[in-house]
Structure 1
Amino acid sequence: MRNRPVLVYDGDCAFCTSCVRFVERSVRPRCEITPWQFADLDALGTSQRRAEHELLWITPDGAVHGGAQAVAQLLLSARGAWPVPGALLTLPPFRRPAHGLYRLVADHREHLPGGTPACALPPARRPETS
């Protein structure tokens, strides 16, 4: 069993990678961070299909949180004031709007700062990078 949670993101998406770099520098969650392309998803208890769809937070005991709730969990794991918005995202009045906002951003990430047209393509159709 792992000691720390794992944050799994899309390493082929420039917007996602930029967000993760911000999280590493500013939020500093207490977890391992890995792109799904380099993760053993079976061992983590999830699938490629789910990892392609949303950010994942996987607890040491194997619980998988996706999307806005993954964001909530990573904020809850941080120090300072970050756990406050993380806790808010878990409450019923905020969960549904947070999910909607997460899907809006995730579904249009290629148009956001740091995003590229490749972010919109399914992984099988993304151009090779070298």
Structure 2
Amino acid sequence: MEATAGVSERPGAGLFLYDRDCGFCQRAVGFARERLRTRTAFAAWQDVHLDALGLTPEQTDERAWVVYPDGRRLAGGDAVAGVLLAAGFPTRVLGRLMLLPGARLLSRAAYRVVAANRYRLPGGTAACALPTSSLRNPK
């Protein structure tokens, strides 16, 4: 599969990379696809050529990413905000708010909490648990 397949036909949108092996991630992406009306494309990181995107399996296993055609990348809570920014009103407003300086710190922290506990959330299984190294070294 081409690294950025699905992005070029959606102007201004990125490619959201998620963990195919995580039930919680699959449910969250399903919700975003069905309900957010976002221009963002979605793909499991295991199905794309990560080298072409400048990412490693370790990076993508630790957090979600949005990669834009121009090479920009957003990770974690910023990636969630990127998906919201590519959606219609009023969801786009929430994405903008999440990127404001104080709110950005909160959204990043919230993302880390959700990511660290995704195996406990609806749809989550033991396969959803993050590697222990990412829990000790959050970025």
TM over 0.5: yes
Aligned with residue 28 of structure 1, among 37, 46, 66:
37
User: What is the correspondence of 1:11-90 to structure 2 with a 5 Å cutoff?
Assistant: 11-90=20-99
Aligned with residue 105 of structure 1, among 104, 111, 114:
114
Unaligned runs of 5+ residues in structure 2 are: 132-139
Displacement over 6 Å in runs of 4+: none
1:46-71 Cα deviation digits (max 9, x unpaired)? 11111001110001101110000001
Counterpart of 2:58, as a letter, is R
My pick for the range that moved more, 113-122 or 48-57, is 113-122
- The alignment partner of 1:22 has SS state of helix
Identity %: 39
1:69-102 Cα deviation digits (max 9, x unpaired)? 0011110001121101100010001011111110
Cα offset for 1:121? 5.7
CA distance in 1, matches of 2:89, 2:95: 12
Unaligned runs of 5+ residues in structure 1 are: 123-130
- The alignment partner of 1:115 has SS state of coil
Taking only aligned residues, the RMSD between alpha carbons, in angstroms, comes to 1.4
- The alignment partner of 1:34 has SS state of strand
Counterpart of 1:117, as a letter, is A
My pick for the range that moved more, 79-88 or 112-121, is 112-121
Contact kept? 2:19, 2:44, Cα under 8 Å: yes
Equivalenced residues, count? 122
Cα offset for 1:118? 1.4
- The alignment partner of 1:29 has SS state of coil
CA distance in 2, matches of 1:58, 1:113: 26
